Structure 1
Amino acid sequence: MQSIQLIYPLLLSGVIVTGLMPVFIKYFKQKQMGQITREEGPSWHEAKSGTPTMGGITLIIAVSIISLISSVVFPVNSLLVLLLIFILLVYGTIGFVDDYIKVIMKRNLGLTSLQKLIGQIVAAILFYFGVSRVLDIQSIALPFGNEVELGYFYALFILFWLVGFSNATNLTDGIDGLLASTGFIAYFSYTIIAILQNQYEVAIFTSAIMGSLIGFFIFNKKPAKIFMGDVGSLALGASLAAVSIVLNQEWTLLLIGIIFVIETASVMIQVTSFKLTGKRVFKMSPIHHHFEMVGWNEWKIVIIFSLITLIASSITFLML
C-alpha cells in the first residue's frame, strides 16, 4: 500500500461530513435540538444557546464507513481497523446518550459522572482483550526507544489512557473550532507515525478522521453553526488514545495531545486549589475559558493552542 492511497479515506470522509452537515443542521434547527449553555460558563456564551449540537454523529458515520471500506479494498489488517472503529463507536454512543438526555430530554446534566465512567471502563476493558488478541502487547513505549513491561497492569493502563483522554478532549471542546483544529494536528501526527511504522491500517483510520475534522471545521469555526457534542469529543479522545496504544507509542500522546493534558490539568488544579484554600488559580477552567476571561477572542485561542500542538508534535518527531 502506498502512502498516496491514504488521500482517498481523507477526501471521502471529508466529503461525507461536508455533505451531511447542512442536512443535520437544518434538521436539528427544525426540531429545536440546540446546545444548552451551562450557567457556570462565560456569560457571553449565552448567545450560543440554541446552536445545533451532536455534529459529531457525522464524523463517526463518515470515519466508520470509509475506514471499513478501505480496510477491505486495501491489503491491511482488517481486525485492527475494526478494533479502532469499535472504540470510536462505543465512546461515541456513550456521548450520544449523554447528548440525547441533555438536548432531547432537556436535562442539562445528561448522564451522571458514574454512569459515563462505567460505560468508558467497560469499553476500555473490551479494547484491552482485543489488543491482547490482535497485537499481543503487554508493554508501553517510553521516550528514546525504551519500554516497560506492565504484565497484568497493562489492562489498568489502557483503562486509564482511554478514559483519561476521552474526558480530556471533552473538556477541550469548549469554544468554536478548538477541538477540531488541535485534533486534526494530533491525528495528522499519528498518521505520519503509522506510515513510518508501516501500519497502514492505523493510517487509514487516522486519515479518515483527519478528513472528517476538516469537513466539520468548516461548520464549527467561529461563529459555529453546529457543535460537536459529547458524541464527537468522547469518541475522538478515546480513539486518539487507542491509536497511540496500537502503534505502541503511548508516551507521544503526552506531547502530541499536550493541549488536552493542559486542559485536564487546569481543571484538576482549579478544583484542588478551591477545595484546599477556597481560592481559584484560574479565572475559569478549563484553561481556554481563563484566556477568554482575560480578553483573548476565540480565534486567538484556537490559533495559539493549535501552534502549541504543532510545536509539541514536531518535538515528538525529533525525539522519535
Structure 2
Amino acid sequence: MSQNILLITMAISFLITVLISPFFIPFLRRLKFGQSIREEGPKSHQKKSGTPTMGGLMILVAVSVTTIVMTLKFKQEPLSFEVFLLLFVLIGYGLLGFLDDIIKIIKKRNLGLTSKQKMLGQIVIALIVYIILRQHDFPTYIQIPGTEIQFDLGIGYALLILFMLVGASNAVNLTDGLDGLLAGTAAVAFGAFGILAWHGIPQFEISIFTIAIVGSLLGFLVFNAHPAKVFMGDTGSLALGGAIAIVAILTKLEIILIIIGGVFVIETLSVIIQVISFKTTGKRVFRMSPLHHHYELKGWSEWRVVVTFWIVGILFAALGIYIEVWMV
C-alpha cells in the first residue's frame, strides 16, 4: 500500500474533525453538555467546569467514515471481519462512555455509571470480540517482542483479550485529565501501531483505521489543546482505549502494547500504587493520582505536564517500533 494512501486517510479524518467541530461544539454548549470537575482535583481546574464534553463523538464519526470509505475504495470488496471488529470495539466502548457522560451531565456530578456497571459493559464487549475471533480461527499464540518465541495460550487467550480490552480502556480513560494530554499521547501510540501494521506483511485495513484515528486526534487537538474548547469525555477515552487494545490483538502485538502504551501503563500504576499505599499505610506516594495531577500540584504548568508526557509517549513509541522492526 502506498504511503500516499495513509497520508490521504489522515488528511480526510483530520478535515472531517476540524470541519464538524465548529458546528458540534456550539451544539453541545446549547444542550448544556458541560463537564463537571472533581472537587478534590487541582483548584485550577474548577474554571474548566461547563466546558462542552462528549467531543469524542466527533472522533467516532471521523474515524468510522474515513475507515469505511478508504477501505472500500482501496480493497474494492466487502469490509473484512477485522474492520468490523475495529469499528465494533471503537463504537461499542464509545457508546459505553457516552452513557457514562450522559449520566454525569444529567446528575451534574463527576460520577456517571457505577464501576460495576461500566465493568460489566466492558466485559460483555470483550466476550463478543473473543467469540467473533474464535469463529474466524484467530490464532491464540502470543509472541515475545523482538524474538521468534511464541506461546500458544489456547482458551487462556480469552482471558488475555478480556484483560487487554478492559485494562486498556480504563488506562486510557485515566490519562484523560489535562487539555490535549490524551489526544496527543494517543495519536502517538496509534501512529506507532499504524507503522507496525504497515511494515512487514501489511495489514492494510488496520493501518487505515489507526491512521484515521491519528488524523482525527490531530484535528481534535485544534480545539482540545490548552485552553480546551471541548473535552472528549469518556465517549472518546473509553473508545480509544478499546480501539488500541483490539489493534494490538489483531496485529499480534499484544505484549508490545505495554511499551507503546507506556504512558497509559504508568498513569494506571500511579493510581494502583496510590490506592495500595493509602489503604495499607494511610500515606500517599503522590500528591494526587493519576500521575499528571501529581506534577500539577508540584507547580508544573498544565502545558508543561502535557508536553512532557507527549515526549515520553514518543520515546515509548519509538522503543516499541525499534523492538519490532529492528530486533527481530
| Counterpart-to-counterpart distance in 2, 1:177 and 1:10 | 18
User: Displacement, 1:9?
Assistant: 1.9
| Counterpart-to-counterpart distance in 1, 2:9 and 2:323 | 29
TM-score by structure 1 length?
A: 0.97
Which amino acid in the other structure matches residue 205 of structure 1?
A: F
Is 1:142–1:250's contact at 8 Å kept on the other side of the alignment?
A: no
User: Which secondary structure state, in structure 1, belongs to the residue aligned with residue 151 of structure 2?
Assistant: strand
| 1:169 counterpart (157, 168, 172) | 172
Count of residues paired in the alignment: 320
Deviates more, 1:23-32 or 1:225-234: 23-32
| Counterpart-to-counterpart distance in 2, 1:161 and 1:201 | 21
| Counterpart-to-counterpart distance in 2, 1:191 and 1:133 | 26
| 1:88 counterpart (87, 90, 95) | 90
Is 2:36–2:109's contact at 8 Å kept on the other side of the alignment?
A: no
1:40 is aligned to: 40
Work out the percentage of aligned pairs sharing the same amino acid: 48
Which amino acid in the other structure matches residue 155 of structure 2?
A: Y
Which amino acid in the other structure matches residue 144 of structure 2?
A: L
Which amino acid in the other structure matches residue 102 of structure 2?
A: Y
1:264 is aligned to: 268
Is 1:96–1:231's contact at 8 Å kept on the other side of the alignment?
A: yes
| Counterpart-to-counterpart distance in 1, 2:135 and 2:8 | 29
User: Displacement, 1:107?
Assistant: 4.5
Q: Tell whether 2:54 aligns with 1:54.
A: yes
User: Displacement, 1:303?
Assistant: 1.2
User: Which secondary structure state, in structure 2, belongs to the residue aligned with residue 155 of structure 1?
Assistant: helix
| 2:213 counterpart (209, 212, 228) | 209
| Counterpart-to-counterpart distance in 2, 1:69 and 1:105 | 38
| Counterpart-to-counterpart distance in 2, 1:257 and 1:286 | 15
Which amino acid in the other structure matches residue 201 of structure 1?
A: E
| Counterpart-to-counterpart distance in 2, 1:8 and 1:182 | 22
| 1:158 counterpart (156, 161, 165) | 161
Deviates more, 1:306-315 or 1:228-237: 306-315
The 5 Å alignment of 1:226-241 reads: 226-241=230-245
**1:103-139 alpha-carbon deviations (Å, 9 max, x no partner):** 1343531100000000000000111122233361211
**1:166-215 alpha-carbon deviations (Å, 9 max, x no partner):** 00010000000000000010011001001013101100100110110010
User: Which secondary structure state, in structure 2, belongs to the residue aligned with residue 140 of structure 1?
Assistant: strand
Deviates more, 1:299-308 or 1:129-138: 129-138
| Counterpart-to-counterpart distance in 1, 2:140 and 2:208 | 24
Deviates more, 1:138-147 or 1:250-259: 138-147
Which amino acid in the other structure matches residue 222 of structure 1?
A: H
| Counterpart-to-counterpart distance in 2, 1:103 and 1:23 | 20
Deviates more, 1:283-292 or 1:19-28: 19-28
Q: Tell whether 2:181 aligns with 1:182.
A: no
**1:126-153 alpha-carbon deviations (Å, 9 max, x no partner):** 1112223336121122122222111001
Which amino acid in the other structure matches residue 124 of structure 2?
A: V
| Counterpart-to-counterpart distance in 2, 1:136 and 1:219 | 39
| Counterpart-to-counterpart distance in 2, 1:130 and 1:9 | 27
Q: Tell whether 2:10 aligns with 1:7.
A: no
The unaligned stretches of length 5 or more in structure 1 are none
1:287 is aligned to: 291
User: Displacement, 1:20?
Assistant: 1.2
